[in-house]
Amino acid sequence: MTDLAVDVRNVTHRYDSFTALDGVSLTVPAGAYTVFLGPSGSGKTTLLSVIGGFLVPQSGEVLINSQDMTDVAPAKRPTTTVFQDYALFPHMTIGANVGFGLRMRGIGSKERSNRAHRMLELVGLGGAEDKKPHELSGGQRQRVALARALAVEPSVLLLDEPLGALDLKLRRQMQAELKAIQREVGTSFIHVTHDQEEAMAIGDTVVVMSQGRIEDMGTPERVYLQPATLFTAGFMGQSSFLKGKVLEKKGSVIDVDTPCGQLRLSAPEKRFEAGEAVVLSIRPEHFVVDRAGDDILPLGSATVEDLTFAGAHHLAVLKHAANDDFRPVAQMPQSGGALVGSTVTLGVRRGDVVVLKDQG
């Protein structure tokens, strides 16, 4: 276990009556790109502050490179942070900004400007040394903040919603660049965001947080396709939920009674008891409309209530004929699909349904 960059053990932190972190434990492998994803107030930024040393948690431990860093000041940690508002030094040139950390480490000015130059080239801003921060655009300042944080060669780079202030196009471009830079330097990156598309696009590992707890953690594919909890299924992408009750369990196959009929589902790795309340989570693209087959579970018929064009496809809000409360959102073809008001038969491929515990 020597290649753990960060090891957070049972960290709890409260602000007055608000619990920002509630017994959080996680490990971040060295050299990976990890994303903390969650809505505001989920504790993701607090967790980043605890790792960066800006906040000492009320209980629990933080190990960085296997050393206890819980009470160590940010200056003495092998971490640096890229702040949301960039926090560049407005009175210094770009070169002095990037070289600041090296200056604090007592590195001579020649070596400093060499390394600052290399860092600026890495982020695509070679030659901007003599400019001042206010002469740069938002995206360029973002790169300077990144170069400044990387210049001191941290073991872990912390990024606090680094792309939050950029427009969508620039944001998608910076995502790709961040990922490329991370691969090039090999430093562990921990990136906080509330944008699930960003998290999926950029992360080797996605950590989904809600209300101070870790809801799910894994590769983007695993978290999207097999979310561990109801919250994860709803937050990471879109999902339709169908409540049900387990009737019988035979190995990894369970029979679930739902308002849309009795369904036989596979639930590998998860243990459900007969009589237990469950929720079936289905992604819009996993619904099968007006088609039958051996591997397709029929879900009955539904009326199209609303259609939204999403470029590559349409998204339809449906109303189930037998169950008014079930309003699934299904992906429909780009053209030639059902119209608003028409009735369709709904199905889903057996393996695509995710069975989750009903948490109330």
Minimum distance from residue 21 beta carbon to other proteins (Å): 19
Among 13, 44, 112, 148, binds other proteins (CB under 8 A): 148
Among 17, 110, 134, 359, binds other proteins (CB under 8 A): 134
Taking the C-alpha atoms of 338, 342, 348 and 349 in order, what is their torsion angle to the nearest 10 degrees? Answer: -40
Distance separating alpha carbons of residues 53 and 26, to the nearest angstrom = 16
Q: Is 101 in the site for other proteins (CB under 8 A)?
A: yes
- State the SS3 of the chain: CCCEEEEEEEEEEEECCEEEEEEEEEEEECCCEEEEECCCCCCHHHHHHHHHCCCCCCEEEEEECCEECCCCCHHHCCEEEECCCCCCCCCCCHHHHHHHHHHHCCCCHHHHHHHHHHHHHHCCCCCCCCCCHHHCCHHHHHHHHHHHHHHCCCCEEEEECCCCCCCHHHHHHHHHHHHHHHHHHCCEEEEEECCHHHHHHHCCEEEEEECCEEEEEECHHHHHHCCCCHHHHHHCCCCEEEEEEEEEEECCEEEEEECCEEEEEECCCCCCCCCCEEEEEECHHHEEECCCCCCEEEEEEEEEEEEEECCCCEEEEEEECCCCCCCCEEEECCCCCCCCCCEEEEEEEHHHCEEEECCC
The answer to whether 46 and 55 have CB atoms below 8 angstroms apart is: yes
Q: Is 100 in the site for other proteins (CB under 8 A)?
A: yes
Minimum distance from residue 135 beta carbon to other proteins (Å): 12
Among 89, 253, 262, 291, binds other proteins (CB under 8 A): 89
Among 17, 91, 273, 292, binds other proteins (CB under 8 A): 91
Distance separating alpha carbons of residues 11 and 342, to the nearest angstrom = 52
Site string for other proteins, 237-276 (x = CB under 8 A): ----------------------------------------
Minimum distance from residue 260 beta carbon to other proteins (Å): 52
Closer CB to other proteins, 49 or 232, in the complex: 49
Residues 28-87 that bind other proteins (CB under 8 A): 52-54, 73-76, 79-81, 83, 85, 87
Closer CB to other proteins, 149 or 163, in the complex: 149
Minimum distance from residue 78 beta carbon to other proteins (Å): 11
Angle at CA 10, nearest 5°, toward 7 and 14? 120
Interface stretch with other proteins, choices 147-155, 197-205, 294-302, 303-311 (CB under 8 A): 147-155
Minimum distance from residue 148 beta carbon to other proteins (Å): 7
Size of the site for other proteins (CB under 8 A): 26
Q: Is 1 in the site for other proteins (CB under 8 A)?
A: no
Closer CB to other proteins, 48 or 302, in the complex: 48
Minimum distance from residue 354 beta carbon to other proteins (Å): 40
Minimum distance from residue 62 beta carbon to other proteins (Å): 15
Minimum distance from residue 306 beta carbon to other proteins (Å): 43
Minimum distance from residue 141 beta carbon to other proteins (Å): 12
Among 17, 40, 90, 292, binds other proteins (CB under 8 A): 90
Q: Which residues bind other proteins (CB under 8 A)?
A: 52-54, 73-76, 79-81, 83, 85, 87-92, 100-101, 104-105, 134, 148-149, 152
